[in-house]
Amino acid sequence: MTNLKESIGAAFRGDLIDDKIACVPYENDTSIFELKPRLVARPKDVEDIKTLVRFVSEHKNEDPSLSLTPRAAGTGMAGGALTESVVLDVTNLNHIKSVTAERAIVEPGVFYRDMDKVTKEIGVIMPSFPASRMLCAVGGMTGTNASGEMTLTYGSTRDWVKRLKVVLSDGNEYEFGPLTPNELEEKKKLSGLEGEIYRGMHELLEKNYDLIKKAKPNVSKDSTGYALWSVWDRETFDLTKLFVGSEGTLGVFTEIEFALTKPKEHRKLVVIFLKDLKILSTLIGKVLAHKPETFETYDDRVIKFIMRFLPDFVRVMKTGLIKLGLSFIPEVIMVLKGGFPRLVLLAEFTGDTEEEATQKAQAAFDDLKQFDLQMEIMQTQKEAERFWTMRHESFNILRKHSGKNKTAPFIDDIIVAPEKLPEFMPKLDKVMAEYKLTYTIQGHIGDGNFHIFPLMNLHNARDRDIVIELGQKVFSLVFEFGGSMSAEHNDGIIRTPFLRQMYGDTVYRLFEETKNIFDPQHILNPGKKVFGGDLAYVKDHIDKVY
């Protein structure tokens, strides 16, 4: 097919972009990869999406390279929205259709920040937002099963999606939600692709029921593979659980219904300086027993990096250097007493009243006194903001001052059960030390989820080799401890080659079968999750001018 744009024709009413310069923004997301799309399609509405899917389906045999990769805001770190075929940009589907105190119905191109503004006007939120909540769109959040600092209490996006409208690989739009066994049996009687999916998936899940339940990673959150274990419990059959986190490989979202909740208004932060990792699992257990809403961490490298580039931190805090320095006097005293911390832990407790939040924080503080730790309760939100800014802004400051080196997300989302961290972290340090990289560790300590961002110069062949070598070593270590290579960021290009190792051949084949049931021609974001490239493909597609 020589001219794809002309071939799609007038039936598509949105924008079709094949100009090389105009396509440049679609060659990257926030991952380390670069793929040059053949065409960018920006549909005007759902009918355009249906037209596009049907076109690709009808011409797949003629042109086997044809496929569609959905893309929303392009903030993913795994390369999930990149393709060398057709990008399906859903940014025109950006309508907030309705919001009540219980539900928000939105299109996939809606930015989370816009939905959040509307829901907060009536005192509710959708709480599974990631750190990129000011930049990301809800379609991407749903496609990756995004989560963030509030996940400890509220769960991942999969827990908040209650209904979906999806264009499947036959080019028709369908609605999905939870079904009773009787409703499932009625769906299985349908003709066409919808009936085939219900029959095929029910058979797959029932035939392999015990195996699938055992395959679920033993961590509090996970965004790898297909969440087969969440679909069917023999009481409820819910394919939304499968679509969430599927990275656009099973269908194209056209409408998402989120549940909403009323957040606690008052909060108190307990800051803990931890020098001895041997007590980490016991400490985490003690803190979690008091039910913090969030429990975050960053390591000593973050502190040192912030100190090195203190003027940037001052600007972010919108204060003066002397005033900021004076505000940290209590923490300086803590360091002098207890030594420089290996980790800083942030446990935030919330309540409907100031008194309730304070009581929770004080109870946790008192319970931790047995460990002889350096710690304090922040008395005001202004005091707490200093530590939250370190947690949230360290990545941006690191990226700004990296020079020729750039922050390289490829081991950026590992998760291990918290009780295993005292044994896991020294082994992780040993692996990282082999490569003498500058890097920081931060993340969600309550879940055992860490974001590691090395600084690398991907112009250099050796650094590209390290991406592969270090990725293999870190993921193998994570698997050894029963963890997952991605709690929040999903598989994309970077982690797809490791899924078979993580789950084993039998479960991986069930993932392949799932893909074939939904998308037998492999026209929807192929190469992600299953049937993907090997490590040589990963290395070849690293952005060398990143």
- CATH number, domain 4-89: 3.30.43.10
pLDDT above 90: residue 215 = yes
Lowest-pLDDT range of 220-234, 397-411, 501-515, 519-533 = 397-411
**Beta bridge partners of residue 86, listed in sequence order:** 39, 68
Task: Give the CA angle between residues 175, 178, 179 to the nearest 5°.
Answer: 100
Q: Across residues 64-72, what is the average pLDDT?
A: 97
- CATH number, domain 96-259: 3.30.465.10
Domains of the chain, residue spans: 4-89, 96-259, 265-400
Burial of 115 (0-12, 13-18, 19+ CB in 10 A): buried
Euclidean distance between CA atoms 360 and 295, whole angstroms:
14
Q: In the prediction, which pLDDT does 406 show? A: 85
Beta strand ranges found along 48-198 (DSSP E): 68-71, 86-89, 96-99, 103-106, 161-167, 173-176, 178-179
Q: How confident is the model at residue 329 (pLDDT cuts 50, 70, 90)?
A: low
Q: Residue 352: CB partners within 8 Å, gap ≥ 6?
A: 264, 265, 266
| 288-300: pLDDT as tens digits | 999 999 999 999 8
Query: Containing H/E element for 255?
Result: strand 252-259
Query: What is the share, in percent, of the chain residues with pLDDT greater than 70?
Result: 93
What predicted TM-score, i.e. pTM, was given to this entire model? 0.94
Cα distance between the two ends of the chain:
32
Q: In the prediction, which pLDDT does 319 show? A: 65
Q: In the prediction, which pLDDT does 320 show? A: 62
| 452-461: pLDDT as tens digits | 999 999 999 9
Q: In the prediction, which pLDDT does 392 show? A: 77
pLDDT above 70: residue 74 = yes
Q: In the prediction, which pLDDT does 314 show? A: 62
Query: Containing H/E element for 375?
Result: strand 374-377
Q: For residues 176-189, b (16+ Cβ closer than 10 Å) or e, as one string? A: beebeeeebeebbe
Residue 155 CB neighbours (<10 A): 15
Euclidean distance between CA atoms 404 and 409, whole angstroms:
16
Lowest-pLDDT range of 67-71, 383-387, 447-451, 481-485 = 383-387
Q: Across residues 267-279, what is the average pLDDT?
A: 93
pLDDT above 70: residue 492 = yes
pLDDT above 70: residue 401 = no
pLDDT above 90: residue 70 = yes
Cα-based distances in Å from 214 to 4, 209, 435, 439: 45, 9, 35, 35
pLDDT above 70: residue 334 = no
pLDDT above 80: residue 311 = no
pLDDT above 70: residue 322 = no
pLDDT above 80: residue 531 = yes
Average pLDDT over the chain, rounded to an integer = 93
Q: Which residue has the higher pLDDT, 183 or 307?
A: 183
Q: In the prediction, which pLDDT does 331 show? A: 59
Euclidean distance between CA atoms 511 and 524, whole angstroms:
15
Q: In the prediction, which pLDDT does 340 show? A: 83
Q: In the prediction, which pLDDT does 9 show? A: 82
pLDDT above 60: residue 327 = no
Please choose, from the candidates 378, 258, 267, 387, the residue with its C-alpha nearest in 3D space to the C-alpha of residue 324.
Answer: 387
**Beta bridge partners of residue 40, listed in sequence order:** 17, 87
Pick the CATH number of 265-400 from 2.40.50.140, 3.30.70.2190, 3.30.200.20, 1.10.287.990: 3.30.70.2190
Please choose, from the candidates 126, 98, 95, the residue with its C-alpha nearest in 3D space to the C-alpha of residue 108.
Answer: 95
pLDDT above 80: residue 499 = yes
Q: Across residues 323-350, what is the average pLDDT?
A: 73
Its sign, for the CA torsion 386, 387, 388, 394, is positive
pLDDT above 70: residue 481 = yes
Q: Across residues 397-418, what is the average pLDDT?
A: 86
Q: Across residues 332-359, what is the average pLDDT?
A: 86
Q: How confident is the model at residue 213 (pLDDT cuts 50, 70, 90)?
A: very high
Query: What is the share, in percent, of the chain residues with pLDDT greater than 90?
Result: 83
Burial of 472 (0-12, 13-18, 19+ CB in 10 A): middle
| 223-252: pLDDT as tens digits | 999 999 999 999 999 999 999 999 999 999
Tokens standing for residue 230:
């969440």
pLDDT above 70: residue 274 = yes
Q: Across residues 395-420, what is the average pLDDT?
A: 85
- DSSP annotation of 26 reads G
Tokens standing for residue 46:
């759902």
